[in-house]
């Protein structure tokens, strides 16, 4: 046990001596110590991300996956609620393949499939992010633009407004 302590103690000063000797050599070279300009890591990352590169070569995904088409869309609000939760994000879904081995599970009666990509759904904040991701992965995609609901302006006073034509009668009983 004492030999290991001696060895570790002997290694540490040597490492320190080497690092200080290197600094001393740099100072004795006669060149003034000019600090390197700081790197702008955020700008480097933005430049690297902004240009899509084909990831098909290094992703390890099968070639059949790169031949599939994906749909980029914004989901509609559910019919059972009046809120718009989940409708501001963009999603990427794989299209369903014809003859993808769908069957009904005999035990439970659930629908089963051999296509594992069918249940894959990815969420993105903007349409441009989703498009950039699909281009980077080398996927064929199409964008399905959302339908905007036209809500006519309404006022309670319009119930009592005069309009020429047949009189509207509201029966209460």
Which residue, chain included where needed, has tokens 């296509």? 115
**Going by DSSP bridges, is the β-strand pair 69-73/140-144 parallel, antiparallel, or unpaired?**
parallel
Total count of domains within the chain: 2
- The residues facing 93 across adjacent strands are 71, 121
pTM for the model stands at 0.53
The list of the chain residues with pLDDT below 70 reads 1-33, 49-61, 99-100
Q: Is 72 found in the same domain as 16?
A: no
pLDDT in tens, 113-152: 777 787 888 999 999 999 999 988 888 999 999 888 788 8
In a domain, 78, yes or no: yes
Distance, CA of 144 to CA of 97 (rounded, Å): 18
Report pLDDT digits (tens) over 4-13. Answer: 444 444 445 5
Q: What is the pLDDT of residue 111?
A: 81
End-to-end CA distance of the chain: 99
Domain that holds residue 138: 41-144
Judge whether 16 lies within some domain.
yes
CB–CB of 162/90 below 8 Å? no
Of 14, 6, 146, whose CA–CA distance to 73 is shortest? 146
Residue 91 lies in a domain: yes
Count Cβ atoms below 10 Å from residue 4 Cβ, excluding itself: 8
- Domain for residue 154, yes or no? no
Q: Residue 66 has which token pair?
A: 């790169």
């Amino acid at each position: 046990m004492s030999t290991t302590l001696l060895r570790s103690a002997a290694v540490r000063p040597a490492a320190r001596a080497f690092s200080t000797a290197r600094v001393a050599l740099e100072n004795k070279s006669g060149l003034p110590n000019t600090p390197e300009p700081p790197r702008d890591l955020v700008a480097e990352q933005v430049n690297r991300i902004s240009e899509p590169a084909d990831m098909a070569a290094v992703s390890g995904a099968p070639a059949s996956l790169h031949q599939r088409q994906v749909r980029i869309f914004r989901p509609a609000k559910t019919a059972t609620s009046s809120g718009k939760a989940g409708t501001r994000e963009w999603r990427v879904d794989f299209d369903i393949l014809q003859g993808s081995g769908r069957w009904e599970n005999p035990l439970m009666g659930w629908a089963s499939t051999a296509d594992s990509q069918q249940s894959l759904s990815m969420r993105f904040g903007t349409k441009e992010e989703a498009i950039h991701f699909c281009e980077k992965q080398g996927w064929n995609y199409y964008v399905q633009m959302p339908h905007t609901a036209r809500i006519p302006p309404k006022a309670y006073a319009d119930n009592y407004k005069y309009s020429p034509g047949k009189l509207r009668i509201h029966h209460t009983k």
